[in-house]
């Protein structure tokens, strides 16, 4: 399991590995739209936003302590504070090229976030699900597997604890 680690130049910490950060970055189009469900300190999304300055990043988190996120904020980042069950339904369908799911680390929360975001994903978009296969969070892998079966998605790659999902063809 990845330990809390700081990213140079960012406040707070990130649970994503360098390999995960880069694999996700590689899937973000230059002028793409990214939805991050579960942001905490915002270090990971700020890392991507700094490297894709013409892309738009929308983070959703129920935290009310946003001071670190605000300090990490880049001009192309927005934070929507609230439970994903309330926030996701008001977002524009089929907009996001990548949806990063990293909020509740249990079966029910992961299931809801995947189901709640599926209509927000662009037709050729990608889900990146963090903590997939992590021993500490077995519900994430179970929820992802069941979602893939029901919604006709497939895991196309796994980098450390992040699974990348695409619609099955």
Per-residue pLDDT tens for 14-62?
889 999 999 999 999 999 999 999 998 999 999 999 999 999 999 999 9
Residue 1 lies inside a defined structural domain of this protein: no
Residue 3 lies inside a defined structural domain of this protein: no
Query: Can you read off the two tokens belonging to residue 112?
Result: 């809801």
Residue 141 lies inside a defined structural domain of this protein: yes
Q: Which residue has the tokens 């988190």?
A: 61
Residue 5 lies inside a defined structural domain of this protein: no
Residue 11 lies inside a defined structural domain of this protein: no
What pLDDT score does 4 carry? 65
Residue 147 lies inside a defined structural domain of this protein: yes
- Count of structural domains within the chain: 1
What pLDDT score does 50 carry? 97
Which of 9-18, 100-109, 147-156 has the least mean pLDDT? 9-18
What pLDDT score does 3 carry? 58
Query: What global pTM score does this model have?
Result: 0.96
Q: How many angstroms separate the CA atoms of 40 and 61, rounded?
A: 7
- Cβ atoms of 94 and 70 closer than 8 Å: no
Query: What CATH number does the domain containing 24 carry?
Result: 3.40.50.150
Helix axis angle, 138-151 relative to 107-117, nearest 10°?
Answer: 30
Residue 119 lies inside a defined structural domain of this protein: yes
Residue 12 lies inside a defined structural domain of this protein: no
Residue 1: pLDDT band with limits 50, 70, 90: very low
pLDDT mean over 89-94: 97
Residues 6+ apart with CB under 8 A from 105: 131, 136, 137, 139, 140
* pLDDT tens digits along 99-131: 999 998 999 999 999 999 999 999 999 999 999
Give the domain range for residue 101: 18-167
């Amino acid at each position: 399991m990845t330990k809390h680690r700081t990213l140079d130049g960012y406040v707070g910490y990130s649970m994503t590995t360098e390999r995960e950060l880069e694999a996700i970055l590689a899937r973000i189009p230059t002028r793409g739209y990214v939805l991050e469900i579960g942001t905490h300190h915002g270090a990971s999304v700020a890392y991507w936003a700094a490297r894709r300055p013409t892309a738009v990043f929308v983070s959703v988190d129920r935290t009310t302590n946003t001071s670190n996120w605000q300090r990490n904020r880049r001009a192309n980042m927005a934070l929507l504070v609230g439970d994903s069950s309330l926030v996701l339904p008001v977002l524009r369908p089929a907009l996001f090229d990548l949806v990063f799911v990293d909020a509740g680390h249990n079966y029910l929360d992961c299931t809801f976030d995947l189901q709640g975001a599926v209509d927000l994903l662009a037709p050729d978009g990608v889900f990146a699900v963090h903590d997939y296969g992590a021993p500490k969070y077995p519900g994430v892998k179970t929820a992802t597997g069941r979602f893939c079966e029901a919604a006709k998605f497939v895991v196309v790659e796994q980098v450390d604890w992040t699974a990348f999902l695409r619609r099955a063809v």
